[in-house]
Amino acid sequence: MLNNIFLKFSEFAMLNKDEHPFSDKYGATAEAVLTDYLSTEDIVDASVDDLVAFISSKSRGRISDPEQTTYLLQKAAQDSYRLDKCLYEPLTVSIGCSFNCISAFEKELKAINDAIQRAVKELNPTEYQILTSVPGIGPVYASGILAELGTIKCFKSNDALAKYCGIVWKENQSGEFQAEDTPMNKAGNRYLRYYMIEAAGSVVQHCPEYKAFYDKKFAEVRTHQHKRALALTSRKLIRMLFGLLANGKLYSVEKSR
């Protein structure tokens, strides 16, 4: 779909946020422009009033300055590469089909997520609520962790939980020498380890504290930087999750610190 959008409307695909007509390149209004207008020439030749009315209608009045959006849209269309006219129709149809597929997948994902939420909430509502209070941990990661974890009461400490996950490290030193690469001991529950590491990667994208920790660990070594930083971030996440679950507390920035 991205390749087809570039072929049909090159500037639409290439412009950065400051110069782009839409804050969301693939939102409902952008989709309407890409599928309702056959070519960039049609956008350039359209009257300003018609385009303003079109954008206001498709955005349901959510675009605060439709005139400026119209100006940026027509400028992008004017600056785009031109194709043979016979190519615009198949590209437009293909782009429309891609948007329809994405919409169908999103609908199915919503139905699956709703089913997961209902099932897990009935089995363990309190711990599920605690896990999903952490930014970046959604219903899939929370249900996966709970399915493998059972209950936090089975573990005496966060070290015990980390060992069960297999997110612990073997010693790799001799005398005063400390190796840069320390292999992880993967003897624990590999499914829980997978969910913990995946959840850590998501939390890094949503929590500044975890992003800073990840960046710090990433910069400490020259090899296996991402792998090492993510594993250490996962260990930090386990320590925090154990504290929240053991004490029955929801996540907050202050408690995390």
Q: What is the pLDDT of residue 185?
A: 67
pLDDT band at 19 (very low <50, low <70, confident <90, very high): confident
Classify residue 118: in a domain, yes or no. no
Q: What is the pLDDT of residue 174?
A: 45
**Residue-wise pLDDT tens digits, 168-186:** 886 654 445 445 556 676 6
Classify residue 116: in a domain, yes or no. no
Q: What is the pLDDT of residue 179?
A: 52
Same structural domain for residues 76 and 35?
A: yes
What are 36-43's contacts with CB under 8 Å, separation 24+? 38/88, 38/89, 38/92, 39/8, 39/83, 39/85, 39/88, 40/8, 40/9, 40/77, 40/78, 40/80, 40/82, 41/77, 41/82, 43/73, 43/74, 43/77
The mean-pLDDT minimum among 75-84, 173-182, 229-238, 242-251 falls in 173-182
Same structural domain for residues 133 and 163?
A: yes
pLDDT band at 223 (very low <50, low <70, confident <90, very high): confident
Contact 158, 183 (CB under 8 A): no
Residues in the chain, overall count? 257
**What range defines the domain where residue 153 resides?**
124-256
Q: What is the pLDDT of residue 38?
A: 95
Instruction: From 72, 103, 134, give the residue that closes a domain.
Output: 103
Classify residue 108: in a domain, yes or no. no
Total of domains in the chain: 2
In whole angstroms, how far apart are CA 44 and each of 8, 9, 77, 146, 209? 14, 12, 6, 55, 47
Same structural domain for residues 221 and 137?
A: yes
Same structural domain for residues 28 and 136?
A: no
pLDDT band at 18 (very low <50, low <70, confident <90, very high): confident
Whether this prediction's pTM lies above 0.75 is answered by no
Instruction: From 70, 103, 136, give the residue that closes a domain.
Output: 103
Classify residue 119: in a domain, yes or no. no
Same structural domain for residues 134 and 206?
A: yes
The helix or strand, by DSSP H or E, that contains position 174, with its residue range, turns out to be strand 173-174
Whether residue 78 is predicted with pLDDT greater than 80 in this model: the reply is: yes
Same structural domain for residues 24 and 95?
A: yes
Q: What is the pLDDT of residue 173?
A: 47
At residue 101's C-alpha, the angle toward residues 97 and 107, to 5°, is: 145
Of residues 91 and 178, which shows the higher confidence score?
Answer: 91
